Amino acid sequence: MNMQAGRKKKIEKTAKASKKQTRAAKKREQPHAAAEAAAQSREDFLFRNALNKRHEARRTLGMQDIIYNFEKETKELAYRYGYEIGEALFKHFNSDNTLSKMLESAGFGKILYYPFESKTMITSYAVDNLGMNSSIKMHDFEAGIMAGYLSQHSKTRLDAEEVHCKFAGSEFCQFVISQRTAVREAGEGIGDIDTASMMAMKALKGGKYGGACESYYLLESAPLEREPLRHIVRKMLFVLGKKISGKEEEAGREGNAAGKAAAFARLSGYAGVDAVSMAGKKPNALRLRYSHLNSASGFIDLSSSLLAGFANGAYKRKIKVVKRLNANGSYTVELQFL
């Protein structure tokens, strides 16, 4: 009898321990399950959000624009990824003004659309080059969107070319879309990290998301989040962040702790961070909070790499990036000083 009672207690104890472990496991899995569900529906949500929200800001230059325009190969990637977005846009969200709405969310304003027999011309006067003039036409990604969308619409393979760009000295950005007759070649890119960092510093004046709406900005960033490209882009952004820090220091804006904090806050907004604070007793870390919409692991990796590079240059310390997925599916990141 005593043996049976002892065995029963042992079984009950084991069952309780098992239930406790199961509850703990479920609790640990909840944030990750939320992240997986968010990832599956994220692109669809971003499309709908970009199309349904009115957007009046003028396009400047976002973090991903600098990466896409760094060299000829990345410009070709931008066009290809934009083409995929354009195809998906037509297949799943097509209406009379879908393309116009998407370009408005990109910060291109009310476009002028001229369909001719042999070609289509799309013109935007809304882009703000922030005083930057170069020989580079900056909008391969948007050219890809136009080509992908209109190819699906016409059931003919079309290509788009930006023939005028405000960043290349024109008074407007203009695209010509016509039937493909040869393999499209991208133009030359920025080419060096010093020029890229100078452009990024000027772009900070254009505010958050480079003048695009948040959802469009994230759609444009999404292809860069894919491996193996993400690994390469993270390294590029770290170096870019460090270079921006050096330029800020040369300009005398990092002379004290307040100057460094202000410069870091400007760059954080540019990189899609919702809020920034110091963490730890000393403090010994910078804490970044991302909105639920921005909280895709790949985007966090890119954004935090740019900011880790800046912190490394500004504070002359090695930086460890620690990501934490919160229960509500949003991310908090700490840039810890080592």
Token code pair at residue 289:
């909070």
The pLDDT confidence band at residue 197, using thresholds 50, 70 and 90, is very high
- Measured at the alpha carbon of residue 266, what is the angle toward residues 35 and 326, in degrees to the nearest 5? 20
Name the amino acid, one letter, at 109: G
User: Which pLDDT does position 231 carry in this prediction?
Assistant: 94
CATH architecture of 55-191: 2-Layer Sandwich (3.30)
- Of 203 and 19, which is predicted with more confidence? 203
Q: What is the pLDDT of residues 48-96, one digit of tens each?
A: 999 998 999 999 999 999 999 999 999 999 999 999 999 999 999 998 8
The answer on pLDDT for 216 being more than 60 is yes
The pLDDT confidence band at residue 257, using thresholds 50, 70 and 90, is confident
For residues 27-53, average pLDDT: 70
Q: Residue 302: enclosing H or E segment and its boundaries?
A: helix 297-315
Written as one string, the DSSP assignment of 149-164 is HHHHHHTS-EEEEEEE
Please give the Cα distance from 86 to 83 (Å, whole number). 5
Q: Where are the domains of the chain?
A: 55-191, 226-337
Please give the Cα distance from 160 to 184 (Å, whole number). 9
Residues 193, 240 contacting (CB under 8 angstroms): yes
In this chain, the answer to whether the domains covering 55-191 and 226-337 adopt an identical fold is: yes
The answer on pLDDT for 3 being more than 80 is no
Which parts of 53-103 fold into alpha helices (H)? Answer: 63-68, 72-93, 98-103
Token code pair at residue 234:
């993270």
Q: What is the pLDDT of residues 262-302, one digit of tens each?
A: 899 999 999 999 999 988 777 789 999 999 999 999 999 99
- Fold (topology level) of 226-337: Muramoyl-pentapeptide Carboxypeptidase; domain 2 (3.30.1380)
Comparing C-alpha atoms, which of 153, 313, 159 is closest to residue 243? 313
Please give the Cα distance from 127 to 337 (Å, whole number). 39
What is the chain's alpha carbon radius of gyration, rounded to the nearest angstrom?
24
Specify which residues 285 forms β-bridges with: 279, 336
Q: What are phi and psi of 55, to 5 degrees?
A: -135, 125
User: Which pLDDT does position 316 carry in this prediction?
Assistant: 92
The sign of the torsion formed by the CA atoms of 52, 57, 243, 143 equals positive
For residues 7-21, average pLDDT: 57
DSSP 8-state code for residue 223: G
The answer on pLDDT for 1 being more than 80 is no
Share of the chain above pLDDT 70, in %: 87
Comparing C-alpha atoms, which of 332, 302, 238, 309 is closest to residue 64? 302
Share of the chain above pLDDT 90, in %: 69
Q: What is the pLDDT of residues 133-187, one digit of tens each?
A: 888 999 999 999 999 999 999 999 999 999 999 999 999 999 999 998 777 888 8
Calculate the alpha carbon distances from 188 to 168, 191, 254, 299 in Å: 12, 8, 33, 26
Sequence-distant (≥ 6) Cβ neighbours of residue 334 within 8 angstroms: 279, 285, 286, 287, 288, 321, 322, 324
The answer on pLDDT for 251 being more than 80 is no
Question: Average pLDDT, whole number, for the chain?
Answer: 88
The pLDDT confidence band at residue 35, using thresholds 50, 70 and 90, is very low
Least confident segment among 37-51, 80-94, 238-252: 37-51
Token code pair at residue 167:
């960043």
Instruction: Give the strand order in the sheet containing 119-124.
Output: 112-115, 119-124, 173-179, 158-164
Residues 42, 336 contacting (CB under 8 angstroms): no
Please give the Cα distance from 283 to 291 (Å, whole number). 23
Residues 167, 136 contacting (CB under 8 angstroms): yes
Sequence-distant (≥ 6) Cβ neighbours of residue 89 within 8 angstroms: 47, 98, 99, 102, 145, 148, 149
For residues 24-33, average pLDDT: 52
